[in-house]
Amino acid sequence: MPQKQDVAVNLSIRSPDNTMMTFTKSIISKPNDRITAAFKIIPEQIGDWELAVTVKSALASYHLNKTLLVKPGGVTQFYSQPILIDLNKSNTFNTVIQLPMDPADRVTGSEKVIVDVVGDILGVSLHNLDKLIRLPTGGGEPNMAIVASSVAVLKYLRNTNKTSHQKEKNLASNIQLGYQQALTYLRNDNSNLFSMRGPTDTNSSTWLTAYFTRVFAETSQRLPKSSTKVIEKAIQFLIDQQNDDGSFRESGKIIDSYVESGDSKQVFLTAFTVLSFTEYIKTGKAGIEKLNASLQKAVAYLESQVDSAKSDSYASAITAHALAQANSSKSLDALNLLKDLTVTDASTVHWKTPASVEDETENAGYLYATHPIDVEATAYALLAHLANGNWNTSLKIASWLISKQNAEGGFFSTADTVVAIEALAKFAQFITDAPAIQIDLMDGIQKRDVTISPDTAMAVRSLEFAQKPTDIAIHARGSGMAVAYVSWTCNVQ
């Protein structure tokens, strides 16, 4: 204002525990100028602090409310334990989840325990689709992982009649944006082929081209017409990379160290390409005759390698899956050999790979408890068992995969996340009974209830516990399936 004025500046603060504090300063404002009233505060509680400022003079007044969020210091540690609640064989379910002990250097007040409950196996993954892919960031392969996850979830929602206009719109947007992003990895030599580094790369990648082909063939109806030529060129390139014995060779640089240097890398790459071919054939597009001949040679190669790949569960798993998709007569043989490599306990089945065993030996106590490549191999094995109608084993495999998810429904890397989501989506399609479940969560102090009905199955209910308990007991009754994700976070100095 044009006049000099005496101004009272009042700052009121409400702390997270509802304690009120008020501070006042008197200042003189100069005509048509500004002046600052500074209040130095040090919040000592974690949470929302409500700030209310009132400025008043003889001529005017003004009021402003703001919230100051105070977060704990230090580095956040995460723990997540998903539990598959299966009420198909019994109408009751009981388990107790032991939570980790607080670290000695924890930041006081930073502990948080949340239980997310959902009546659909893919509910949390769908809710957090944009957060599933964490590492690595950038590049052609992570982009395709997001697209492939979106394709798998969209197919699941459609096949189970659980889709909605908004969900379909969001997933379709992911797919279309992913396709546009994929085009930036085409080389600049008029070959229109994909490489890990994009336009300036010297060689196209067989593996990445097969990846693009399979994913975009699955969703070709959602892509522009120009995509047909891109996919056709990719198919021809893949055929040109086939060796005389039916296997495929990698012509470029790739991220996956297993595919690059694993003992069974040729078996894996051939199985991976077979999956792309079988998916493309379903589209009924041009060039199928030539492709069929190449596919038959590749299948014959995989059939000849079934016995030699039995020492490598990763190669065995994707081979069994690929042979099942190609309707090979050796599909069941491959599956039986894969069963000999299982790691089982009372309620779950999974596979360990040579690479993960070696890493665990060299880095005992350092690496994460489950190697990403074990998740990937187990996911391929689940797809192979589902194709052969082995429901009881499939249920045990799915239980293990779900137990390795993080709180957002993803896994460790792009590779294992996309294969595991695809496998769980396929598994979930076989669950025909709608859930009708009552779940009780008890931490020794209080009991929290969640009711799941067919109408609310896709909704994620989050329950936060005010104080960190030592354990959480889960009791469920009813029918159908649900998943409970017990998550704990704590900051350390």
Domain ranges for the chain: 5-70, 75-116+435-492, 122-428
What are the residue ranges in the chain where pLDDT is below 50?
Answer: 134-137, 190-191, 257, 361-368
Place of tokens 């197919």: 155
- Cα 212 to Cα 214: distance, rounded to the nearest angstrom: 6
Q: What is the biggest distance separating any 2 CA atoms in the chain, rounded to whole angstroms?
A: 94
CATH architecture of 122-428: Alpha/alpha barrel (1.50)
Tokens at residue 137, please? 């960031």
- The C-alpha atoms of residue 386 and residue 427 are separated, in whole angstroms, by 7
Predicted pLDDT of residue 256:
53
Residue pair 440/476 in contact by the 8 Å Cβ criterion: yes
Could you say which of 3.40.50.620, 2.60.120.1540, 1.25.60.10, 2.60.120.380 is the CATH number of the domain covering 75-116+435-492?
A: 2.60.120.1540
Residue 273 and residue 279: Cα distance in Å, rounded?
10
CA quadruple 461, 466, 469, 472: dihedral, nearest 10:
-20
d(CA 332, CA 385): 9
Contact 46, 71 (CB under 8 A): yes
The pLDDT of residue 253 is 61
What's the pLDDT at 136? 40
Q: How many whole angstroms separate alpha carbon 474 and alpha carbon 93?
A: 8
Please name the residues in contact with 15: beta carbons below 8 A apart, sequence gap of 6 or more: 21, 43, 45, 47, 49
Q: How far is CA 127 from the centre of its chain?
A: 10
For residues 353 and 377, is the Cβ–Cβ distance under 8 A?
yes
CA-CA distance, 440 to 460, in Å (whole number)? Answer: 16
pLDDT digits (tens, 9 = 90+) for 68-123: 999 888 888 888 888 999 998 899 999 999 988 888 888 888 888 899 999 998 88
* Residue from 7, 1, 12, 5 nearest 64 by CA: 12
Question: With contact defined as beta carbons under 8 Å apart, do 438 and 478 qualify?
Answer: yes
Positive/negative CA dihedral, 395, 398, 400, 405: negative
Helices marked H in 183-226 — which ranges? 206-218
CA 139 – CA 72 distance, rounded (Å): 34
In the numeric block, the tokens 């005010």 are attached to 466
Quickly tell me which residue has 């993954």 as its tokens. Answer: 125
Structure tokens at 286: 């041009």
The angle that helices 313-325 and 354-362 make with each other, rounded to 10 degrees, is 160
Q: Exposure string (b/e) for 13-34, b if CB count within 10 Å is 16 or more?
A: bebeeeeeeeeeeeeebeeeee
pLDDT, residue 364, reads 39
